[in-house]
Amino acid sequence: MWNEKYDRDDFLYGTEPNDFLRVASLVLPEQANLLSLAEGEGRNACYLASQGHKVTAVDASEIGLEKASILAEIKKVELYTELADLADYDMGEEKWDAIIAIFCHLPPELRKTVAKRIIKALKPGGFYISEVYAKKQLTNETGGPKDINLLIDLEEIQKEMFGLNWIHSQQIEREIFEGSGHTGKGWVSQVIGQKPS
């Protein structure tokens, strides 16, 4: 599905980073080792790389990652890409300064499995930064999955990511303009969590 979506001349979600990520990334230490899940065409990973971080972009779409590499060349940043399905992707243990998941929507059981892997893979003091569409987004025609099971409310994130300290957590409706894929008012859940040191 994602190969089909990304097989186009332009970038489905644009080439600029997610607005929440731009602000949330200010918590990161300098030259952090970052993992970006479901990175797609690379807009968020390339932004983080431009800030001096070492970024590994993971996605299940070959076409998305090819475009991410092209965008990295255009923006003159270094980006590491890994083609992988999150169902069996090994993130390692205490490896990352931060793990980023922007609009990463997974079936509930897989999401819970991935959540445990994320917490295990973060270094002590490491950050989890995420923005996803909330269940109320189902009534909007501005982006996101049309399956309510793939939409994630704030309390679900906090329950599934148990053990993190929440620096920021809110569910809001905000204007989102990210290419043609996300455009208009959207209900989102946003979090910045930190693994205890």
pLDDT in tens, the chain (197 residues): 778 888 888 888 889 999 999 999 999 999 999 999 999 999 999 999 999 999 999 999 999 999 999 999 999 999 999 999 999 999 999 999 999 999 999 999 999 999 999 999 999 999 999 999 999 999 998 999 999 999 999 999 999 999 999 999 999 999 999 988 888 999 999 999 999 99
In 3D space, the residue among 57, 49, 10, 33 whose CA is nearest the CA of residue 179 turns out to be 10
Structure tokens at 38: 């479901």
- CATH number of 104's domain: 3.40.50.150
The model's pLDDT over 62-118, given as tens digits with 9 standing for 90+, comes to 999 999 999 999 999 999 999 999 999 999 999 999 999 999 999 999 999 999 999
Confidence at residue 3, expressed as pLDDT on a 0 to 100 scale: 82
Q: Which residues contact 48 (CB under 8 A, 6 or more apart)?
A: 17, 21, 25, 34, 36, 55, 100
Q: How many domains does the chain have?
A: 1
**The residue to which tokens 């990973």 are assigned:** 45
Domain carrying residue 52? 2-194
- How far does Cα 26 stand from its chain's mean position? 16
d(CA 185, CA 14): 17
Confidence at residue 34, expressed as pLDDT on a 0 to 100 scale: 98
pTM score: 0.96
